Amino acid sequence: MVEDRRDKILLKALELYMVEGYANVSITDLQAALDMGRGTLYYYFKDKDELFQEVVDTFLIKPKQRALERVRETGRIPDMIDAMLYYLNQLQEFYNQVENKNINTSNVVTVMYTAYSRFPELYKKARRLYEYELSLWIQAIKNSMHNGDIRGNVPIETTARMFLHIKDGWDPGRSGAPMNFDIFPEQYNYLYDLIKK
């Protein structure tokens, strides 16, 4: 749960950005939604840009970092699946705390696109995470293959990309689709079952 004022600001900002879009949310809007003085907001964040970057970092980047840190070099496919489900569970916890449940898949993607197009440092951070996750999937597939868990003729990089993109079901092609976290365990396990020996 939200424990302090800063967390409360970040969570409400996440909700407003998801529903209204970054460009449409002012500090005044946030102040009204939180019933909080302007000075309090500026005590924690110097401006709207800093707040937005912190929201993206807190709710979209750091959870993935924490998840990937759970995977050892010797990890196999089930270890990667567990890490990704841990990541998705963190996102679901954030989602469960927001008041407005009209957030859908396209809202998430819009916030991400806005962040990565406006703030190059966020994009670089997200890109490094993407590359690192891909490398972990490749290593996990190799480890699983070496251990005899999966077939030896599995195309490693293609399969790694398929695993990596399961959680990216939040794409513009699914515009308006509700946030549904229940589908992910089944999708990961289905793909894993397809390549098992």
pLDDT digits (tens, 9 = 90+) for 136-180: 999 999 999 999 999 999 999 999 999 999 987 554 445 556 677
Q: Is the dihedral of CA 156, 80, 105, 112 positive or negative?
A: negative
Q: What is the mean pLDDT of residues 76-91?
A: 95
Amino acid (one-letter) located at 132: Y
Q: What is the pTM of this model?
A: 0.89
On whether residue 34 sits in a domain, the answer given is no
On whether residue 47 sits in a domain, the answer given is no
On whether residue 18 sits in a domain, the answer given is no
Cα(179)–Cα(108) distance, integer angstroms: 9
On whether residue 21 sits in a domain, the answer given is no
Structurally, the chain folds into a number of domains equal to: 1
How many helices (H) and strands (E) the chain has is answered by 10, 0
Cα(14)–Cα(30) distance, integer angstroms: 10
Contacts of 189 (CB under 8 A, 6+ apart): 81
On whether residue 164 sits in a domain, the answer given is yes
Q: What is the mean pLDDT of residues 34-46?
A: 93
Q: Tokens 């004022």 map to which residue?
A: 5
On whether residue 46 sits in a domain, the answer given is no
On whether residue 16 sits in a domain, the answer given is no
Average pLDDT over the chain, rounded to whole?
A: 90
Residue 86 belongs to domain spanning:
60-195
On whether residue 13 sits in a domain, the answer given is no
